[in-house]
Structures are given as structure tokens and as C-alpha cells.
Amino acid sequence: MQRERGFTLIELLVVFGIMALLIGLAPVAFDRMRDSAQYRDTVRTMLSQMRGARYRAMAEGREIRFSVNLNQRTYGVYGGLPCALPEALQMRATVAGIELTGQGEASIRFLPSGGATGGSIEVLRTSGAGTRLRVDWLSGRVTQEALTP
């Protein structure tokens, strides 16, 4: 007696069902991965620019300002090309009162002596978790700490 080879209809339906489920979940996983990559890139870029501003101020012997514009959702070293904050993220700034403008701009000035006006910039995800980049006013040192919701 010879058996026919092949798949049953039920086996094919199970395989197609699994494939449909995977295809349906792929965009959600991709969005999460993209948002996570944008968050990490933003924090790294901001941290790098703040540390670079400190070193430039000391090397050039002049004040260098790092600014965030909360209304326009941009950040960067003053006078340079500003970086746009991704839509999925939020920013908060705590700076000295003289470093705030009426247009939603907050700045931290790095001084030639190595100090700074001090403050912190928070980069937040939609979940409320995020990172605080803190600038010490005495040393001008930039540190990073995690924020939990």
C-alpha cells in the first residue's frame, strides 16, 4: 500500500495562521525598535554636545552655550545647527532663571574656567521613563542618570 505525500488542509491553515500573526506583529515590534533607537541616539547626541561644549569653552577661553527650545523641540550648541527632537520624546529643562527666554528656550552656559551655569535636561519617553543629563555648576561636569516613571 502506497501513501500519498503532502500536507493536509488543517496543517496548511495552521501555518498560514501563524504567518498572519507574525506579519501582524511585525509593525508593532518595528515601531518599538525605532522609538528605542531614536531615544538612545538623542540622549547620546545631547550628552556628546554638552560635553563638547564644556571642552570647547575651556580650550577656546570663551563661553559656549548649549540650548534647548521647548517650543520648537530642538536642541544643540548655540550658533550651530540645531537637532530636532523625535516626536515620540519629550524634553524638560531646569536651568538658572537668567538662562530662560520667553520663547521657550533654556540654556546652560559652559565657562572658560571649566564651570557652568548648571542645570539639567530631561529626555522622556511616552511611558514617563527617561534620562536626566545634569550639569554641575561648579565643575561643569555632565552626568547622566536614569529616570523611572
Domains of the chain are 9-147 (3.55.40.10)
Q: pLDDT, tens digit, for every residue of 14-57?
A: 988 998 888 887 777 777 788 889 999 999 999 999 999 999 99
Q: Identify the pLDDT of residue 32.
A: 78
CA 70 to chain centre: 14
How many whole angstroms separate alpha carbon 6 and alpha carbon 125? 50
